[in-house]
Structure 1
Amino acid sequence: MTELSHTFETARGTIGPLERVLSAIPAIVLFYVILLNPLLTEGATVGSAENNIAAAEPNRLNQLFWLGLFGLTLFSAGNRIFVIFDRLKNPAVLFIAAYLVLAFASVTWSPVPGIALRRILLQTIFVLVLAIPILVSRDTGRVISGLLAVLALAVWINVIAVIIVPPSPIGHVGLYAQKNALGATMAGAFLFMMFGFFTRRGAMRWVYLATAFAALALVVMSQSKTSLALGIAAPAAAFGLIAISRGLNIGLTGLFLFSAVFGLACWFFFSQAAQFAFSDLSMLLFDDETFTGRTTIWAFSLEAIERSPVLGHGYASFWATGTDSSVFREAPGFVASLLQSHSGYLDVLIETGAVGFSLLVLLLVFTLTQIARLARHMPGLAWLCLTILIFAMVHNSMESSWFRGFSFLWLQFLLAALLPASQRPAKPDFAAGRP
């Protein structure tokens, strides 16, 4: 690929103060997700039964923040808020909306309707405060600049935290409760910093490059193997796919799907020929045969799916719902203290069944197709979005983030789905070094 640049339609005329506020809202969301919220929840004990019970209770401060930000989003959008209805024609936006509608409907069959309704309301607000600024703003480049600034700040704050705070026995945690959170956050920051390096001009591109190396160093220091592997493999795979697609003039969507099927077929034949089982891969990666206990979690999750395979148990109605939940009563051993199944795909099946899973698959497919269209004229942005898509799809095989709270990976995926659906490209602001 000869360039990694992107362009956005910018406002014709002067950007007003409300539009500037609207453009800053995704950066505010990101600041809360990766910097402020971890500090507010610092005292949580990961994996304890008490934390599981506490997670079922409402967080008033959290609710006030999201409600206030939602109000600010609507106010700053003004009359442009109605543009959002036109954006619903975009398939990726449509399937995000469809899943949220299904989640609202699932309150009627949820065993904990009060908890489910509270969580789907907050999830909808979270999606909207990201979607509205991206889809209706006339200055999407400013949105991206704000996100890059917050991520760079997060990297250097975590550098200071790692210097000051001694590591845990299994790796540095930075500002977060566990090492995997630091690893996943810094891996995402690394992707965006590299994007900033390739798309900006002048001194700032070298600041982004230095920050990218710092982020990668933090991933290594966290000893989060999954984040490190994906942080290197996902951008390389996205770069290769786009380069081959553009060089050979073949469709990126077809190339992606062919590569995925071919890779799975190669793994199958290799595992059969070399007698290399799934448990052997777990031993190689985690020094045990259960993917650090995940096989036990997955077995329990599959049993839960069998009870309600079509519509599921209800959105956010299975994990972290208190002492009356089937998880607390029936889950074996440590599983009773967990807040997720450590698989985003299993959690979607548990919560919204085969219907919700189908909507997720369609969302992923149409996100891929619009990234493919973007790659024809904006390869840099397409590279970032495709990297995030690959990272999220693989990461959700081991962790859970699809339509889940306001995790950083879910936020990144929403950006990958919404940015290609936003305003059409025009003049190359970033290539000129403008914010």
Structure 2
Amino acid sequence: MASAGAATGIRVQERQRGTAARVVPDVLRVLLNGAVFVLLWNHIWLVDLSDRSILAASEEGSLLTQALFLSTGVAMVAAIHRIGFRHLRPLVTGPLVLCAVWLSGTALLSIEPSLSLRRLALFAIAALLSAGVLIVARSPRQLALTMAAAALVIVLSSYFAVALVPNLAIHSAFDVNSDPSHPGLWRGIFPQKNEAGAAMVILVIVGLYVARVASRVLGWSIVLLAAGFLIASGSKTAILLLPVILVITGLCQILTGGIMRTLLLLGPIVGFSLISIGSVLVPSIQDAVGALLTNATFTGRSEIWQFAIDNILVRPWRGWGLGAFWMTERTMYGGSEELTWVNTVDHAHNAYLDTALIGGLPFLALTVVAFVLAPVRDLQRVAGGTRLDAETMLFLRLWFLGLVSASFETVLYNGNNATCCMFMMAVFGLRLRTRYPIARD
């Protein structure tokens, strides 16, 4: 059993060097972290997809989203202040700092500076919340039970939405961006079935963690509820990736050597990247993928990827700025004599391409170092040559989910995305574990 104060391995005696750490009651910790998890997993409930206004360029942002993130961010800052900001010092690493500096610089040099700065502020708050939950939670058990409560809010609300307001919870032919295959697929409280699918994968991972740390009955109930909704959502990417994540991370319990673990984790990430970006850049890979996959969804994404690559080459060193490319007036209505449906998509369906669009190729390289290579190093420092404890396995699964999803969805530098926020929490968690090893009774 983990000792109190060991949610990320921060020992009790280190928290209690000052008296401030003792004045945050458990009820406030649970309420704050529970609200944060619900907010990060989904904060835009029951969207009417028949409303044609959602097709318009979205440069203004949502006042509700800004208010929710700002108020929760203020509460998190207050809680961490009580506990001690010094516990966040391990996150001040060279790669992470360079990414933050470059991202801030490209926001200032963005083609839409005001838009990019607003998106940067939202992302910064999301990053703070993703790190803060690990500091605020008093123990792994408290973290697990808080995540379980938030997971039940999300998954049960989604089931109730399908039952009570199906016009707002199930895709229909009246959706303004209706795909022929979407009608009848469940999205629950989420804006789209792919977002619902991604969230359900996260909840399956959370359920497995809860089952191991807090309650088998509660944990496996979350797993079954989330898996059932995932299947009903018809989210192909999420359904495909879940078994890959569970198998690969499960093998990390058997293959404990540094080289084998590294190859096991990075191999699928490189492979999925070759299937996606490689299918556009390398003719032989394109032919091979075309022979194996005739899915129109993949073909459509390849058109988006080519469009993204073309625009990366327009500004290869500094990018377009955070949130300043897709769904803006410039992309949707100008800059090309022949406008197609590709101009109206809201992201590249590939996080690596979107990263290069945000900050150029140097920013993509920094991102790979900070969020791909550094966490592998941290994992080996935490558990090299040994089996993984429950907390490390949670972080590993969420980190791996983010990177394999990145080849098909935009899950980096997007504070509105549940996978992005859990990916950041995982990166921060692995890093914190290198400084604060779990204290066991």
Pick the TM interval, shorter chain.
Answer: 0.7 to 0.9
Unaligned runs of 5+ in 2: 1-6, 172-182
- Structure 1 residues 325-359: Cα deviation after superposition (integer angstroms, max 9, x where no partner): 13432373212222111111110011101121011
Paired residues of 1:195 and 1:384 also in contact (CA < 8 A): yes
On the 8 A contact 1:135/1:419 being kept in 2, the answer is: no
**Selected match of 1:373 from 357, 377, 381:** 381
The 3-state SS of whatever aligns with 2:302 is helix
The equivalent of 2:400 in structure 1 is 390
1:252 match: 261
Contact 1:11 1:139 in 2 (8 A): no
Instruction: Find the aligned partners of 1:123 and 1:261 in 2 and give their Cα distance.
Output: 26
Q: Secondary structure in 2 aligned to 1:293?
A: helix
**Match runs of 1:209-358 below 5 Å:** 209-245=220-256, 252-257=261-266, 277-283=288-294, 286=295, 288=296, 291=298, 293-321=300-328, 323=329, 325-329=330-334, 330=336, 332-358=339-365
Cα distance in 1, alignment partners of residues 391 and 203 from structure 2: 15
SS of the equivalent of 1:384 reads helix
Separation of aligned partners in 2, 1:11 and 1:126: 26
Per-residue CA deviation, residues 75-118 of structure 1 (Å, 9 max, x unaligned), is: 222254431562234x4xx5344323212111332111111111
Q: Deviations over 1:216-246 (max 9, x none)?
A: 111111111111111122111111133122x
* Aligned mates of 1:276, 1:296 — CA distance in 2: 15
For residues 172-211 of structure 1, what are the alpha-carbon distances to aligned partners after superposition, in whole Å with 9 as ceiling and x for unaligned? 11112222122111111011101211233xxx31121122
2:106 is aligned with 1:101:
no
Q: Larger deviation: 222-231 or 10-19?
A: 10-19
Does residue 1:417 correspond to 2:427, yes or no?
A: yes
Q: Is the 8 A contact 1:26 1:130 kept in 2?
A: no
2:144/2:213 contact within 8 Å kept: no
| Superposition CA RMSD, Å | 3.3
Matched, 1:187 2:201: yes
Q: Structure 1 residues 418 and 342 mapped into 2: Cα distance closer, same or farther (>3 Å)? A: same
Aligned pair in 2 of structure 1 residues 177, 255: CA closer, same or farther (>3 Å)?
A: closer
Relative to structure 1, the CA distance from residue 293 to residue 34 in structure 2 (aligned partners, 3 Å threshold; closer, same or farther) is: same
Q: Partners in 2 of 1:310 and 1:53 — Cα distance?
A: 29
What is the CA distance between 1:317 and its match in structure 2?
A: 1.4
Comparing 231-240 with 59-68, greater Cα deviation is found at 59-68
Q: Secondary structure at 1:310's aligned position in 2?
A: coil
Q: Distance in 1 between the 2:55 and 2:102 partners?
A: 25
Contact between 1:9 and 1:139, CA under 8 Å: does it hold in 2?
A: no
**Matching residue of 2:123:** 123
- Structure 1 residues 71 and 275: alpha-carbon distance in aligned structure 2, compared to 1, 3 A threshold: closer
Compute the displacement of 1:395 (Å).
1.2
Give 1:43's aligned amino acid: D
- 1:43 alignment partner in structure 2: 48
**Cα 1:196–1:352 shift into 2, 3 Å:** same
Of the two structures, which has the highest relative contact order with CA contacts closer than 8 Å and spacing of 6 or more? 1
Q: Calculate percent identity across the aligned residue pairs.
A: 21
* Residues 377/136 of structure 1: CA separation in 2 closer, same or farther (3 Å cut): farther
Matches of 2:111 and 2:259, distance apart in 1: 49
Whole-angstrom CA distance in 2 between matches of 1:63 and 1:382: 32
Report deviation, 1:36.
3.9
The offset of 1:59, in angstroms, is: 2.1
TM-score (norm 2): 0.81
Tell me by how many angstroms 1:137 deviates: 6.0
Question: What SS class does the counterpart of residue 320 from structure 2 fall into?
Answer: coil
Residues 419-434 of structure 1: pairs in structure 2 closer than 5 A: 419-422=429-432, 424-428=436-440
Aligned to 1:173: 187
Shift of 1:378: 4.1
The aligned counterpart of 1:112 is 112
- TM (norm. structure 1) is 0.82
**Structure 1 residues 373-382 or 274-283, which shifts more?**
274-283
Q: Which amino acid aligns with 2:368?
A: V
Match of 1:68 in 2: 71
Q: 1:149 corresponds to which residue?
A: 149
The offset of 1:387, in angstroms, is: 1.9
Deviation larger for 364-373 or 227-236: 364-373
2:269·2:404 contact (CA, 8 Å) conserved in 1? no
Question: Contact 1:368–1:386 (CA<8 Å) still a contact in 2?
Answer: no
How far apart, CA to CA, are the structure 2 residues paired with 1:72 and 1:195? 26
SS at match of 1:369: helix
| CA distance in 2: counterparts of 1:8 and 1:180, whole angstroms | 34
Q: What amino acid is the match of 1:66? A: F
Match of 2:210 in 1: 196
**Paired residue type of 2:381:** R
